[in-house]
A = this chain, B = another copy of it.
Amino acid sequence: MPARPATVPIAPISYAGSPLDRADHIRTSPEALAQLRGPGARVLLLDGLDPVLTSQDTLRWGDLDAVSPEAELVFLGLDGEGTERRACFAPVPVVKPGETPHAGPASWSAMAVLSHEELAIYGGARALVGWHARHRFCAQCGSETVLDKGGWQRTCTSATCGVPHFPRVDPVTIMSVEHEDRLLLGRQPRFPEGRYSALAGFVEPGETVEEAVAREVFEEAGVRVHDVTYIASQPWPFPSSLMIACHAVAKDDAITMDETELDDVRWFTRAEVEEAVAAKTERGEAGLAFDAPSQSAVAYVLLKWWLDRGPVT
């Protein structure tokens, strides 16, 4: 796998850059954890899995009294320095009927207004408490599980089973695919009108990142690729993906679309991508070849990277 040119900058990655110290040594110490659950602690307030914002568009925090004493609390980490050091927690919500793990309107709004650091705190908390909410039972034996290690584990309560379960992170490949200075982008049926984005798919057991990229592009577009290059990664908390953004070069430009996955997939010229990305920055403009992905998505970072890299000469 060839390297990406070191000189090409990467745009800011949304949901990265949490300022919290995860302080993992505290997770394994029930005494230290109990001590942190004192008057200085703060609790991230959530509406189910959605963020709750103040009138100043910041995350809303409460003290421990703000949540039910029965609520399971996840230890997110430590905030601040020295005597200002505070423990941060988030409560595990109950899964609402019909609630999907995808990003809803409240999350998209938060992406538009929260600071980079607060968005990262919210994302990390959402992925973690969402996993707890969906893992109240042991997948191995069906017994109830309880929160353990400050929320970085759940443990089966059955005396004959008792296995530990760990928060899940699903690696997903997402790729810019290039052929003669054009980029392959597709649209899923659920996309807003005009939106095209990078193809993507989960890494499966038994394959490398590079193999997953090649498989996905072939499955979805019938295009064979080579020279897969790692570009950047992003934690995406809907429900808990690790987006692994790569670039790949197509062997030729003939497309065979997977109609069960995509509405359309096609090649866009550098000028078309450039216009669409510029319009996204300026929030909306008419007469474009397509609507670029959100600036919060790593797909946007990939498109920006490809534009900044320029044509291969």
Contact = CB atoms under 8 A, between A and B. Distances in A.
B4 A209 contact: no
A13 interface: yes
A230 to B, nearest CB: 4
Given A10-B1, A206-B237, A208-B233, A142 B131 contact: no
A28 to B, nearest CB: 7
Interface of A is mostly: loop
Interface in A237-280: 237, 240, 242, 244, 258, 260
A13 B208 contact: yes
Contacts of A57: none
Nearest to A145: B139
Interface string A102-133: 00000000000000000010011101100100
A143 B137 CA distance: 9
A211 interface: yes
The 5 closest A-B pairs by CB, nearest first: A124-B206, A3-B3, A127-B205, A137-B142, A230-B230
Given A16-B208, A167-B205, A169-B205, 9 more contacts: A3-B3, A22-B204, A25-B258, A25-B260, A127-B206, A137-B142, A139-B145, A169-B170, A208-B242
15 contacts: A3-B4, A18-B211, A25-B260, A128-B206, A134-B139, A134-B140, A135-B140, A137-B137, A139-B145, A168-B170, A169-B171, A169-B204, A169-B205, A208-B242, A244-B244
